[in-house]
Structure 1
Amino acid sequence: MKNNLKNASNAKERILNSTLYIIGKEGFQNVTTRKIAAAADVNIASINYHFGSKDNVINEALKCFTGMFRNSFKILDNNELTPVERLRNFLKSYSDVSTEYPDVFKNFVNKLIYNEEIQPEYMKFLQQEGISSLMNILKELTDVKDDYHLHMMGLQIISTLIFPILLGNKIENIAGLDYKNKNVRYDYIELLIESIQGK
């Protein structure tokens, strides 16, 4: 994530952006009110005024992060678009969010791997809405109708989007791809869509 934290229009937004930045760079356990204040160019009293405590700031920042992914999944339910357009727009949006906040995303996945307490809101959303929206679009695009195989396909799609983020800059050394480049990322997505459609 670029450190453009001080460009945010108001103190509250800067505090949230700064918190996400620190979570990504140093991990949840290393977030302090003092670090947030320095990164957001505010005083500690401002953080307490807007959020009350460091834990509240972290929770609110993670809700914002979760909200970005929720918005990506909502694209799948936009019936004004064709199924392939919905899938394409979802994949682009999901990859854009994870690329904008790669370190937060990596930290999030790391907590999942080590079974630490994770944002229950995001996990609940994935289980109750997100995955089913993805499965519904896959039903429309393929001949696959059974939940077992649709779940597998959904997992493959999400994994395909996550892996380049986890590799970070190493992906350029391994595959010669600059995944941060939007054009490269969108070519990658087109290839994924073609494979889903069996082309």
Structure 2
Amino acid sequence: MRVTGMVQDRTAVKTKIILATIECIEKDGYNAVTTRNVAQAAGVNNAAINYYFGSKDNLLEETFTFTLSHFFIDLNEILKDHNLNTYSLLKVFLSFLLEGLINYPNLVRAYFSVPDVFHKFGQSFLRQLEQFLETIAERIRKENSALTEREIRLSLMQIISVIISLCLPLDLFHGFSGLDLKDPATRTAYIDHLLTRYLNWVNPLEIKEDEQKVAQLLDKIKNTLDFDRPD
């Protein structure tokens, strides 16, 4: 029992330090992270960083491993429900993706702009995203056999690109659109507007019927999106 408790304590402290690292990346950017400011944000001494991680490089590597594993878990959670139509599945995924891009822009930027990080983690992120889109494409084929393979792939590429373009930088179209995408209701309305243009064969009544399931699934993955912050 005592050994189990020690393992749990160690995991809790490591998670606390990793969350502090994410906080520092978001506050000052990837290149500004130091063990000193992470220790301060985590409320531990600098020696604790070395004890649990050995070095700043190891800490950053475990931080990206941690965040990427949460992304994979969330993708799998989204795909578990085989009763949801592709409109609802994409609505959950786009809501999840957009919220992550809004809440963790510097973390996302590091995945793709820091060569070592991209080589170790960014490519894996893209592979998982591609596998997810392949699964969605297969479901679309079953729902609407009239669509060609090219139409399906182009539509999915355009849908994802529209979401990502809003966040790099986030306020690129803010003045033009007047949208506050940090507001959950605004994000939902925006995603619905987007999906109805591309997935117009889905019955509106089915979409309405799935609203509760969509909300429940988003609630289910919210904790992992927030990286299970300890009390």
| Alignment partner of 1:196 out of 195, 198, 214 | 198
Please name the residue that 1:123 is paired with. Answer: 126
In the aligned structure 1, how far is the partner of 2:176 from the partner of 2:106?
A: 20
Distance of aligned partners of 1:152 and 1:77 in 2 relative to their CA distance in 1, 3 Å threshold: farther
Gaps of 5+ in 1: 1-8
Check 1:140–1:90 CA distance in 2 against 1; reply closer, same or farther (3 A cut).
farther
Structure 2 match to 1:55? 57
Distance in 2 (alpha carbons) for counterparts of 1:21 and 1:37: 11
> CA 1:49–1:69 in structure 2 vs 1: closer, same or farther (change >3 Å)?
same
> Following the alignment from structure 2 to structure 1, what is the Cα–Cα distance between the partners of residues 142 and 74?
18
- Taking only the aligned residue pairs, the percentage that are identical comes to 27
**Shift of the alpha carbon at 1:191?**
0.8
1:81-111 alpha-carbon deviations (Å, 9 max, x no partner): 2332222222222222222212222343444
Q: Which of 38, 41, 44 lines up with 1:39 in the alignment?
A: 41
1:80 aligns to what?
83
> Deviation at 1:17?
1.6
What 5-or-longer segments of structure 2 have no aligned partner? 1-10, 202-231
Residue 134 of structure 1 corresponds to 136
Q: Which has the higher contact order (CA 8 A, sep 6+)?
A: 2
- The C-alpha deviation readout for 1:96-128, integer Å capped at 9, x for no partner, is 22222122223434448xx9635143233234x
Judged with a 3 Å threshold, the aligned counterparts in structure 2 of structure 1 residues 109 and 174 are, in CA distance, closer, same or farther, namely farther
CA root-mean-square deviation: 2.7
Determine whether 1:172 maps to 2:174: yes
**Number of aligned residue pairs:** 187
> d(CA) in 1 for partners of 2:143 and 2:110?
33
**Which structure's CA Rg is the greater one?**
2
Equivalent-residue separation in structure 2 for 1:21 and 1:144 (angstroms): 44
Cα offset for 1:35?
Answer: 1.8
